[in-house]
Structure 1
Amino acid sequence: MANKTLFMLLLSHIILCFSIVFSNLDASLAEDGAPHFVHVCDPARFEMLGLDMDEFAYCDKSLPHHVRAKDLLDRMTLVEKADQMGHGTSVGIPRIGLPPYNWWSEALHGVSNTGPGTHFDSVVPGATSFPTVILTAAAFNQTLWKTIGKVVSTEARAMYNLGRAGLTFWSPNINVVRDPRWGRTLETPGEDPFVVGLYAVNYVRGLQDIEGQDNTSDPNSRPLKVSACCKHFAAYDVENYLGLDRLHFNAKVAEQDMIETFNLPFEMCVKDGDVSSVMCSYNRVNNIPTCADSYLLKKLVREDWNLHGYIVSDCDSIAEIVKSHKWLDDSWEDATAHVLKAGLYLYHLILMRMDLDCGDSYKYLPSAVSQGKVGEADMDKSLNHLYVVLMRLGFFDGIPALASLGKKDICSEENIELAAEAARQGIVLLKNDNETLPLDATEINNLALIGPHANATDAMIGNYAGIPCKIISPLEGFSAIGEEGVSGFAGVNYQMGCAEMKCQNDSMINSAVQAAKKADATLLFVGLDLSIEAEWVDKEDLLLPGYQTQLVTEVAEASKGPVILVIMSATAVDISLAKINPKIKSILWAGYPGEQGGRAIADVVFGNYNPGGRLPLTWYEASYVDNLPMTSMALRPVGDYPGRTYKFFNGSTVYPFGYGLSYTNFTYERKSEEMSIDIKLNRLQHCHNLTYLDENYQQDCPSVSIDDLPCEDEIEFDITVQNAGQRDGSDVLMVYSIPPKEINGTHIKQLVGFERVYLKAKESKKVNFGLNACQSLNIVDVSGYRLLASGLHKIVVGDTALQIPVQVNYNR
């Protein structure tokens, strides 16, 4: 009997190894770059495994996905089920024809090799690396965001067909940037929850939607190009602040701020983007680890927002519940049971669920089942979510419309050009005294490129990046355009100025100064990089690091020609000294501009492209952080704390949210008229009180919950925008709402719409906006109600130059 058992174990191991090899057979065959993928339910594959596919109902395409998934699960043992619930421990089960699958791939701003599900080699040496998200967000262009998603998913699917990537990509990061020191700001769309949400919706739609199949009566059967994941839910934005790291942080958040700010992008991503995955975060929220929070995962994500997909942990989050949070003194079995059930029992109904562990902690589930802490049926429900998503992705049956994608679709000239265009659209012009920019290349004989980013390569790519198709550094970009100028061009004099980004000594500054003395124009490239702001790395202050400020000041003072300062960073940098320095004529913020960044910056500087980006973050003065610890989660001013983001901070800034200049001028026009929204309440619609700044101010019906209103009222208006200047260019029309001034404790203003418009010189266009009154005028009170207040609201276009009064009245 022992020998027979040993033989069976050995045979099982051989079959498993064979299955793993077979599941990656496409990788070994696809040496010519043509797709050779074989999907799971291929009769020839089952024949190679010695199985009859007709005996396996999970391969019957006539059955609904959830029925097929149940058939698959019913064939598994308890241990086998647990083995499929980790991102990399999903080892497959050869005896039932199931191959391994690694769930972890990344595609934050291009296909990345950060996750083990993706790799590059001689067949696929790279993929298009777009600007980091914070710069792409600065374009304020929803069409661009979705188009980038489409290109990334095309390259991802092509790599999958070639055996170099998975189908499930844990992107995008849609956490709101609450604090200007947060290290992962480069991964996000900025500080405004509405912008973050719209970015999520568009990028996710670009990743997931298959043209012609993006609408279906059953969302759980809608085919997916690839699967996206909105992360990290929720209230996650501390990496390592004064020794307190993200694994131990307990975010104490008011319900008002959760609803108004931290939850909103995820709600939009699930409801409007129909994302197929959500990732819970490392931190606790109000004492409960997010991956074990039944309210967040079950009530909100699954029930209220109706997720069609699975929930995954941030990597090793279950282990951190045990080791770092020490929540409820959980054992490993306790922790796995809690997260699988998402925490608690309510009215004797199990509140589910975190479906997939990025890690291997779910290996304790069989023991937790045997101890009665969780049921095997609970595991089945999670596995059903997982396999339904894989079926929608064509992992089992293939998707013919995507089968031809291959090497030709990766790093194409069109994709690389889109990366350059995304960088150009995101670059923000912060200063331009005397219209110094754009420079005339025909008048530049000697150009100085100075600074630690002047020959940037990897720094432009940021994190969660793969291998780019072709990096063009600023040095390459400016050298190329200079050579296209006049025959007398003497070339680019490149000086680092600092040995590294932290610029810990001034030994290289003198060489930079000497170069500036001889140059017809000087470009200064300074800023930050992943050694200063990154995952696990929060900033300590808002200043340029080390001797960079000295470098900027001394080079500017010595320069013969105009000085243009280029900032590469994600977070805000206090460059007040440069802003007021008359020798520094122009300032550009270029974020981390991706593989074509050097070319894009040169195009802007020499006028081949007119910048139109806007800051997606408030740039605070350096003193802002002195009185505001990162661990304070409140957004509204509290005591000596000054408040956060443009919505609540009313102090002075270096540059405000939404700021950005152009090489031309734009004007707005609209017929001045007040709008009125009159709402007749029935006996089931009740008024909510509000707190007013003047206690003598009264309204018969201060507000009504938008949940109690039909919310059919629309605010429609046209804005005529004219390019009044001499250059073609793009303008971003930014539309804000301002609540009635009498109400206490509301936001100062909130962005409710935007549109990027391209206009030729002297051209005019009429831009229509249609705003839902409930969505655009609502406020969130301290109790967490979303309310439509009565009184005089304002719709503001641009920098308050154009205001539209909107009166809201209630009557019985």
Structure 2
Amino acid sequence: MSSYNAINGVPAVANNLTLNVLLRRTFGFTGYVTSDCGAVGTTYRRPDGAGVALGNDPATAALATSGHDWAPPGWSTNHGDQTALWSKNGTLTSVSGRAGGEAWSLRTGTGLNCVGFNGQVGHPAFWDPLRPVFSDENRLQYIQLAITAGILSEGVIDRELLPEFTLRMRTGEFDPRSNQPYTRINKRVIQSPAHQKLTQTVADETLTLLQNNRPRGARKPLLPVRAAKVKNVVVVGDQANKVFLGDYSGDPDEQVSLLEGIKRALPRAQVTYDSGNSSTTSTQPPSLRPDTQAAIRKADLVVVMVGTDAGVNTEGYDRKTLALPGNYQRLIKQVAGIGNPRIVLVDQSAGPVDLTAVRRDVASILFSAANGERQGRAAADAILGKVNPSGHLSFTWYSGDGQLPPKSDYNLTPSRTAGLGRTYMYFTRKPTYPFGYGESYTSFRYSRARVSRRRIPATKTLRVSFRVTNTGHRAGATVAQLYAASPRVHGVELARQRLVGFKRTKVLKPGRSQEITIAVALIPALRVWKAQLGREVVYPGTWRFRIARSSRRIASSLPVRITGSIPRTINTVSLAPPQLTLKPGQELNLRGRNQWLDGLAPTQYQSKGDTIITAVRRDDSFVDLTNAPLGFSTDRPSVLRVDRNGVTTAVAPGVATVTVKIDGVTASTPFVVTGA
């Protein structure tokens, strides 16, 4: 899917570098690309257009119409937003931005336009079939105007329809319904007992224990709490009494909130609930009822739930800050101020939130993202020890906005981000919780670390083995992680380390161990792009493979000397003719260029992005095919001939597949020969 952003100043939906040069030519992708809904319109819309105000409100974000006010190379725009007009420099040729946006998106490889503007807010099952009718960005007339203006052809459209219809046929869409297994997958199948059990397992294993301290006056951490000792429990926060499944979820019949999960787990306890007049969007002070405050003072357990929901992040609407949304920080402070130290904070949020001001106000913190239909049951099971949390963070938990470069800055390295660095690979500050972090109710020891080879060619697979032992008093599992740190390379700013493997242990009883082996295919794991050479490399030298509990808690570090380089053998061959339909007698030279890709690629890729045939080596460098020995063949020479020089000649109506071969690697495409 091509998105709403621009890359190096070119909208993603019309970005030839990413969609054609990289995705198709370099990586060998043969499927189709659809736009994010409304993204084709970002080519011509202005960033300060009428849709900006809509985008600032989550209720109308789906109607946002802002864009990049772009025009392709050699063209200019009148900056008309919805009425944009593109003019070809030095000529009298002009075309509407809507027609141009369709044309350049199709030419670069966005084959399907998922419309967005004038889409209606409501249930998708009702509105999705109607969106193409109400949209103004995917009209047939725009395609016709683009073809008339000479900036698009039916051949380009055929090229994009080929993979789309191929996949639809492979999945059986055009077969009789009785032969389609998907038609038998109804809600009863989706909500089968086996699937609900899987949902529970996923929710249990997703929960991440971020903090587990001893409450004031206690001799051990708060969690897990023994259910038999909980007579009175207080649950606080609006999030605790609802189930947030996130965008693109289904609507399952079973939805268990945290409040319901605790009630089911503690059927004999007195459970007091109070939303505290809290929400993700409230700017008012929270307020706890007097009876709630009294219940908190004598409670055996207090559970506060906060997080994010559709009020602060949803389709087309992102959070603008890492701060706890709404009045949640004040809610936590108000609960803690009553004086009961036995507080568990449950945070269900889309990524990190700033917990700096409240971490000392609570004993324990559990985290998950939107955790499915049984999220409340999973949290209750973790709090009461039925499940030992084993989740680990898949992101860096930054302490606040000050640790983030501007959102419009895509750079990663410290030198390009005012010294900060981005992601665990480059981040230079101390986060609240590092990438890979996750605590447990038990403890684990890592021992007997070893590698299969101390010196190894880059083309091989390294195996790193070690033993994980449960040294605590409760059964539990953990996620062992393996990072690789590169040797220093003069003049190159490399990542501090990178995750090259991980493995979750089985649930280990106290005192039990498990032998773990992580296999690392070195080229895919360690390769980096070297712009000066125009290819990827694996830097030779001594790498350190770190067995770790998280990206910042290393258990063992094993040096391995890596030699050699990425073989310069051919990895992918692609075939992208300008048209797939020919008439008898018509010729097409496959060694030529595709005029519909001409001038679209960045300058350094221009000789690589618009040829009909490309070959790319394993190091992602392009092969100069000018004098390369290519082999050509056709499966139906009576329909289409191809000679040794790659010149195809249509013979008679029918369908034929042409194949090109170099060094044993092939690419094929069908041609249709129509009547004269």
* TM-score class normalised by the smaller sequence: 0.5 to 0.7
Q: Which residue, out of 256, 261, 264, partners 1:472?
A: 256
Name the CA distance, whole Å, in 1 between partners of 2:207 and 2:294. 29
Name the CA distance, whole Å, in 2 between partners of 1:327 and 1:757. 51
Question: Taking structure 1 as the reference length, what is the TM-score of the superposition?
Answer: 0.57
Q: How far 1:516 sits from its partner (Å)?
A: 1.3
Contact in 1 for aligned 2:341/2:363 (Cα 8 Å): no
- 1:320 equivalent in alignment to 2:100: no
Q: Which has the larger radius of gyration?
A: 2
Q: How far 1:536 sits from its partner (Å)?
A: 2.9
Q: How does 1:646-657 map to 2 (within 5 A)?
A: 646-657=424-435
Q: How far 1:449 sits from its partner (Å)?
A: 0.4
- Point out the more displaced range, 752-761 or 407-416: 407-416
Question: 2:468 matched to which residue of 1?
Answer: 721
Question: 2:81 matched to which residue of 1?
Answer: none
SS where residue 366 of structure 1 aligns?
helix
Contact in 2 for aligned 1:522/1:559 (Cα 8 Å): no
Question: 1:491 matched to which residue of 2?
Answer: 270
SS where residue 339 of structure 1 aligns?
helix
Contact in 2 for aligned 1:439/1:607 (Cα 8 Å): yes
Name the CA distance, whole Å, in 2 between partners of 1:731 and 1:568. 21
Q: Which residue, out of 338, 341, 347, partners 2:107?
A: 341
Q: How far 1:549 sits from its partner (Å)?
A: 1.8
Q: Which residue, out of 216, 233, 246, partners 1:462?
A: 246
Name the CA distance, whole Å, in 1 between partners of 2:401 and 2:110. 41
Q: Which residue, out of 409, 414, 425, partners 2:189?
A: 409
Question: 1:540 matched to which residue of 2?
Answer: 320
Q: Which residue, out of 534, 557, 561, partners 1:807?
A: 561
One-letter amino acid matched to 2:393: L
SS where residue 803 of structure 1 aligns?
strand
One-letter amino acid matched to 1:794: R
Per the alignment, do residues 770 and 333 of structure 1 end up closer, same or farther by CA in structure 2, a change over 3 Å counting? Answer: same
Contact in 1 for aligned 2:452/2:464 (Cα 8 Å): no
Q: How does 1:97-136 map to 2 (within 5 A)?
A: none
Q: Which residue, out of 503, 516, 521, partners 2:296?
A: 516
Name the CA distance, whole Å, in 1 between partners of 2:387 and 2:366. 13
Q: How far 1:414 sits from its partner (Å)?
A: 1.8
Name the CA distance, whole Å, in 1 between partners of 2:246 and 2:184. 31
Contact in 2 for aligned 1:474/1:602 (Cα 8 Å): yes
Name the CA distance, whole Å, in 2 between partners of 1:648 and 1:369. 47
Per the alignment, do residues 333 and 558 of structure 1 end up closer, same or farther by CA in structure 2, a change over 3 Å counting? Answer: closer
One-letter amino acid matched to 1:443: K
Task: Give deviations 1:726-778, integer Å, cap 9, x for gaps.
Answer: 22221101110011146541111110001111133122111111112222333
Contact in 2 for aligned 1:735/1:795 (Cα 8 Å): yes
Question: 2:58 matched to which residue of 1?
Answer: none
Q: Which residue, out of 281, 303, 317, partners 2:25?
A: 303
Question: 2:407 matched to which residue of 1?
Answer: 630
Q: How does 1:657-806 map to 2 (within 5 A)?
A: 657-671=435-449, 675-677=453-455, 711-741=458-488, 743=490, 744-761=492-509, 762-781=511-530, 783=532, 785-798=535-548, 799-806=553-560
Name the CA distance, whole Å, in 1 between partners of 2:451 and 2:165. 55
Task: Give deviations 1:221-240, integer Å, cap 9, x for gaps.
Answer: xxxxxxxxxxxxxxxxxxxx
Q: Which structure 2 residue ranges, 5 or more long, are not aligned?
A: 47-67, 72-76, 78-85, 87-95, 116-136, 214-219, 566-676
SS where residue 388 of structure 1 aligns?
helix
One-letter amino acid matched to 2:277: C
Q: How far 1:472 sits from its partner (Å)?
A: 0.6
Contact in 2 for aligned 1:312/1:357 (Cα 8 Å): yes
Q: How many residues align?
A: 482
Contact in 1 for aligned 2:308/2:349 (Cα 8 Å): yes
Name the CA distance, whole Å, in 1 between partners of 2:430 and 2:199. 35
Per the alignment, do residues 388 and 490 of structure 1 end up closer, same or farther by CA in structure 2, a change over 3 Å counting? Answer: closer
SS where residue 716 of structure 1 aligns?
strand
Q: How far 1:453 sits from its partner (Å)?
A: 1.4
Question: 2:386 matched to which residue of 1?
Answer: 608
- Point out the more displaced range, 489-498 or 798-807: 489-498
Contact in 1 for aligned 2:450/2:464 (Cα 8 Å): no
Per the alignment, do residues 677 and 774 of structure 1 end up closer, same or farther by CA in structure 2, a change over 3 Å counting? Answer: farther
One-letter amino acid matched to 2:512: E
One-letter amino acid matched to 1:409: V
Per the alignment, do residues 673 and 718 of structure 1 end up closer, same or farther by CA in structure 2, a change over 3 Å counting? Answer: closer
One-letter amino acid matched to 2:188: K
SS where residue 601 of structure 1 aligns?
helix
Name the CA distance, whole Å, in 2 between partners of 1:775 and 1:666. 30
Name the CA distance, whole Å, in 1 between partners of 2:536 and 2:304. 47
Contact in 2 for aligned 1:675/1:805 (Cα 8 Å): no
SS where residue 266 of structure 2 aligns?
helix
Question: 2:145 matched to which residue of 1?
Answer: 367
SS where residue 556 of structure 1 aligns?
helix
Q: Which residue, out of 342, 348, 356, partners 2:112?
A: 356
Q: Which structure 1 residue ranges, 5 or more long, are not aligned?
A: 1-278, 343-352, 484-488, 680-710
One-letter amino acid matched to 1:437: L
- Point out the more displaced range, 519-528 or 286-295: 286-295
Q: How far 1:482 sits from its partner (Å)?
A: 0.6
SS where residue 357 of structure 2 aligns?
helix
One-letter amino acid matched to 1:768: T
Per the alignment, do residues 773 and 307 of structure 1 end up closer, same or farther by CA in structure 2, a change over 3 Å counting? Answer: closer
- Point out the more displaced range, 499-508 or 416-425: 499-508
Task: Give deviations 1:651-690, integer Å, cap 9, x for gaps.
Answer: 11111111100111111112557943355xxxxxxxxxxx
Per the alignment, do residues 713 and 600 of structure 1 end up closer, same or farther by CA in structure 2, a change over 3 Å counting? Answer: same
Question: Taking structure 2 as the reference length, what is the TM-score of the superposition?
Answer: 0.67
Per the alignment, do residues 809 and 733 of structure 1 end up closer, same or farther by CA in structure 2, a change over 3 Å counting? Answer: same
Between the aligned residues of both structures, percent identity stands at 29
Contact in 2 for aligned 1:739/1:749 (Cα 8 Å): yes
Name the CA distance, whole Å, in 1 between partners of 2:456 and 2:274. 65
Question: 1:288 matched to which residue of 2?
Answer: 10
SS where residue 567 of structure 1 aligns?
strand
SS where residue 525 of structure 1 aligns?
strand
Q: How far 1:623 sits from its partner (Å)?
A: 4.9
One-letter amino acid matched to 2:514: K
Q: How does 1:167-566 map to 2 (within 5 A)?
A: 279-324=1-46, 325-328=68-71, 329=77, 330=86, 331=96, 332-342=98-108, 353-359=109-115, 361=138, 363=140, 364-398=142-176, 399=179, 404-433=184-213, 434-457=220-243, 460-483=244-267, 489-509=268-288, 511=290, 512-560=292-340, 562-566=342-346
SS where residue 619 of structure 1 aligns?
coil
Contact in 2 for aligned 1:674/1:805 (Cα 8 Å): no
One-letter amino acid matched to 2:346: V
Contact in 2 for aligned 1:777/1:793 (Cα 8 Å): no
Name the CA distance, whole Å, in 2 between partners of 1:759 and 1:605. 18
One-letter amino acid matched to 1:506: P
SS where residue 260 of structure 2 aligns?
helix
Question: 1:215 matched to which residue of 2?
Answer: none
Per the alignment, do residues 769 and 672 of structure 1 end up closer, same or farther by CA in structure 2, a change over 3 Å counting? Answer: closer
Task: Give deviations 1:696-748, integer Å, cap 9, x for gaps.
Answer: xxxxxxxxxxxxxxx53221132111122222221101110011146541111
One-letter amino acid matched to 1:493: T
SS where residue 273 of structure 2 aligns?
strand
Contact in 2 for aligned 1:438/1:607 (Cα 8 Å): yes
Name the CA distance, whole Å, in 1 between partners of 2:295 and 2:339. 8
Name the CA distance, whole Å, in 1 between partners of 2:430 and 2:16. 41
Per the alignment, do residues 741 and 675 of structure 1 end up closer, same or farther by CA in structure 2, a change over 3 Å counting? Answer: farther
One-letter amino acid matched to 1:772: A
Per the alignment, do residues 793 and 456 of structure 1 end up closer, same or farther by CA in structure 2, a change over 3 Å counting? Answer: same
Contact in 2 for aligned 1:628/1:641 (Cα 8 Å): no
Contact in 2 for aligned 1:520/1:561 (Cα 8 Å): no
What is the RMSD computed on CA atoms of the aligned residues?
Answer: 2.3
